[in-house]
Structure 1
Amino acid sequence: MTATATLPDATFFIALNAGSGHDETDERRRVIESVLRNAGRLFSLTIIDQPDSIDAIAAQLAREAAAAGGVLVAAGGDGTINAVARQAIAHGCAFGVLPQGTFNYFGRTHGIPEDLAEAVHALLAAHMHPVQVGMVNERVFLVNASIGLYPKLLEERELDKKQFGRSRLVAALSALKTVLSPHRRLRLDLQIDGKPQRLRTATFFVGNNRLQMEQIGIAPLSAALEDGQLAAMAPRTKGKLGMLWLLLYGALGKMGSLDQADQLTTFSFKQMQVKVRTLSRRRRIKVATDGEVTLMNMPLTFSVMEEQLLLMKPINVPA
């Protein structure tokens, strides 16, 4: 994927997530406003202080950005980026990112600085690149989607972060608590690009992020993400200690070599349908997309979206 355009005079319509607290949010707002005003760039900044308002606010900002030929910008973690990106795709406007999360997989993959002032400067000089978007049923994902133990881990992690703060250590300890608690293995019926397959696993993970695939040790699948495909991973291990070791890599964002035949089933695909036989009496299942957990109807259909996200990507970063 190559750069398509620069937008040197476009107005930025910024959605800033206030999830980290008012003092930190005020400081982030000051940094963003200072850099943009010094650069003479027009912008509109809206603070999202209620989680249930993010979709409505992002949709309104997307309409304004599309009408003005501007750029819709998400300032927050991967969940915020996902929510705002959905509206950028729906309204066909360019999309910018100011990453402020714990892991920032999406921003880091595309060379966007984690330091806020540096990220704003990078946005000012960015080029527009088309970026692949994954879908599960009607919901998009930029980083990953999963069912089983991983959504449970994310829910517990959010509760623990609210109590103990946002850090990778808290994420790791929360993962330890979740994995050591009772959990059931899923029995899955898959249709992978039209071919049937069955799996038993505690968690089923679909990735759309090259950096995350490389960091959890599945580098060969990262090439598939550059070729219009998604990457799937299902741990085979039955023991809690083995599962703990696998999930801690994801919780810590740590380099590893997990692509071993006795530990994981991995494959790439363009379209896949998933039915969970262990939940045959229930029509809905919890699905995590970019760190946000929602209930979805079964069967689940995973695919690459035809539309691409028009991401404003820093210069001198490979496409």
Structure 2
Amino acid sequence: KDGRACAKEALANGADVVVAVGGDGTVRTVASAMSGTGHAMGIIPIGTGNLFARNMGIPIDDIDAALTVATSHGSRHVDVGRLSLLDDPKADHGHAFLIIAGVGFDAAMIDDTDPQLKKNISWLAYFVGGVKNLFTPKYRGDMTITSTDGSMHTRHGVAFRTFMAGNCGQIPVFSLMPNASYDDGILDFEIIDTSGGIFGWANLFGDVVHQTITGKPGSNPLSTNSTMDQIQGVSAEITLEKPVLAQVDGDMLGRTRHLRFTVDREALCVRVPEVAPDMSATGIIPPIRD
């Protein structure tokens, strides 16, 4: 059984709190079932990255402390992103994500990451998977993004390396989406493209470093061979020329040509420390909600 099935079974048996023990993949599948139920979800982070737990201020290296938080502390309501594969006739629900979902290079990078290497060097293993896909052809498709006011913005024939939707934009060391907030009811969409071979990828790395330092989204003004278009909205629908790999919080979903990103605002109740650590410099931890 996956986390979603286990959480549904626990709720059916009368559980008040369901605790996800694992990494970001386990957390997101449990969250898929907990979303909208009003019941709290606790997290015992024992995965590789534990990105969502880090964003929530949950203890990473102390299982007892994390369990105490899960069973007796305060809570925060957060958004849950959903990625629906519209060309999958068997799909009966949107795949939940709490951090980042995407199609293209990011999914191919994750798919080509060696699990054993990931165990040995943690998230750095993704760079090895990334190198394998630096020179793959670009992807192309039509995109429609819906803004918070209901207006729809369509682009046809967009060429890109990767398209991502972020609920949290912070990853280890870097900030992919500085404006992303997990409780604003908005997804941050990022369209990344490069040209000029390895020079373009080097430019893109500089873009990421630039926005990590400045805290502002977008490319470095000096970049000439890379673009990072960032747009906020409540949903996005993409129709691609060819099937492309998709991922949610590092879990592979296979290939798709037609997909939709949506967000359920503050649909998930997460147990968090009552006294949050001082992370004011990062802007990650907002005030606790009872």
TM bucket, shorter chain? 0.7 to 0.9
Distance 1:310 1:206, change over 3 A: same
Structure with more relative contact order (C-alpha pairs < 8 Å, separation 6 or more): 2
What is the alpha-carbon root mean square deviation over aligned residues?
3.1
- Determine which of 124, 141, 155 is the counterpart of 1:188: 141
Deviations 1:120-176 (A, max 9, x none): 2322332232210011112111111110111111011144536x7342333333323
Q: What secondary structure sits across from 1:133 in the alignment?
A: strand
The answer to whether 1:80 aligns with 2:45 is no
The correspondence for 2:127, drawn from 155, 158, 172, is 172
SS of the residue 2:58 aligns to: coil
Q: Check the 8 A contact 1:127/1:314 in 2, yes or no.
A: yes
Larger relative strand fraction:
2
Identify the match of residue 308 of structure 1 among 248, 262, 267.
Answer: 267
Question: In the TM superposition, what is the alpha-carbon distance from 1:78 to its structure 2 partner?
Answer: 0.7
1:220-264 deviation per Cα after TM superposition (whole angstroms, max 9, x unaligned): x225x54211011122222443336747999x9x95567216431
Asked if 2 retains the 8 angstrom alpha-carbon contact of 1:62 and 1:93, the reply is no
1:101 maps to 47
Residues 1:120 and 2:67 aligned together: yes
- Which is richer in helix? 1
Query: Counterparts of 2:206 and 2:19 in 1: how far apart (Å)?
Result: 31
Give unpaired runs (5+ residues) of structure 1: 1-52
What is the Cα deviation at residue 301 of structure 1?
A: 1.2
Aligned to 1:222: 180
Which one of the candidate residues 130, 133, 157 is aligned to 2:113? Answer: 157
State the Cα distance separating 1:287 from its structure 2 match.
Answer: 1.0
- Following superposition, the deviation at residue 64 of structure 1 comes to 2.7
Contact 2:20 2:42 survives alignment (8 Å)? yes
The answer to whether the aligner puts 1:231 opposite 2:184 as a matched pair is: no
Task: Return the letter of the residue paired with 2:97.
Answer: F
Distance 2:206 2:26 in 1: 23
Task: Name the amino acid aligned to 2:237.
Answer: Q
Distance 1:286 1:90, change over 3 A: farther
- Superposed displacement of residue 306, structure 1: 5.5
C-alpha contact (below 8 Å) 2:99/2:168 kept by paired residues: yes
2:100–2:167 contact (8 Å) kept in structure 1: yes
User: Secondary structure at 2:231's aligned position in 1?
Assistant: strand
Partner residue in 2 for 1:24: none
For the pair shown, the structure with the greater C-alpha radius of gyration is: 1
CA–CA distance in structure 2, aligned partners of residues 74 and 234 of structure 1: 32
Corresponding residue for 1:267?
Answer: 231
Superposition pairs of residues 27-46 of structure 1, within 5 angstroms: none
Any idea what the Cα deviations from partners look like across 1:70-113, whole Å, max 9, x if unmatched? 21111111111111211222755321111122222111111111
**What code does the residue aligned with 1:82 have?**
R
Count residues with an aligned counterpart: 253
Percent pairwise identity: 24
